[in-house]
Amino acid sequence: MEYEILCDLFKCKLHDGNKVSKHVLKMIGLIGRLASIGTVLPANVSTNLILQSLPNSFENFIVNFNMNNMKVGLPELHNMLKTYESSTAKVKYVFMVSSSAKSSKWKNKQQ
């Protein structure tokens, strides 16, 4: 049982475009299952397992988290990641609007 749970935990990867909340909750659930059978992971190991499972789009979050030597529980890490995800989604939307406006100006100049 422990082996299977650890395999599932180590294989967890969030792919770009998927929601971080569901992913982190799944990992927290696996960590909880391990604890329920007597295998308690140290807090820093649990945190690092979650952080290493994130895609490159979370690189700024991970660097900031590690540089500030943050020590938070898994529920707080979950909330921080959701906040980061929603803030970066808004930035991408703004860039998309800005780039489409520039391309229409360019088309007008060509005519």
The predicted pLDDT at position 17 comes to 87
What's the chain's average pLDDT? 88
96 pLDDT band, cuts 50/70/90, is low
Other CB atoms within 10 A of residue 51 CB: 15
Return the structure tokens found at 17. Answer: 């475009």
| Residue located via tokens 């190991």 | 45
The predicted pLDDT at position 14 comes to 97
**Residue 43 belongs to domain spanning:** 2-110
Domain count, the chain: 1
The 3-state DSSP class for residue 86 equals helix
110 pLDDT band, cuts 50/70/90, is low
pLDDT digits (tens, 9 = 90+) for 54-88: 999 999 999 999 999 999 999 999 999 999 999 98
To the nearest 10°, report the CA torsion of 38, 41, 43, 46.
-130
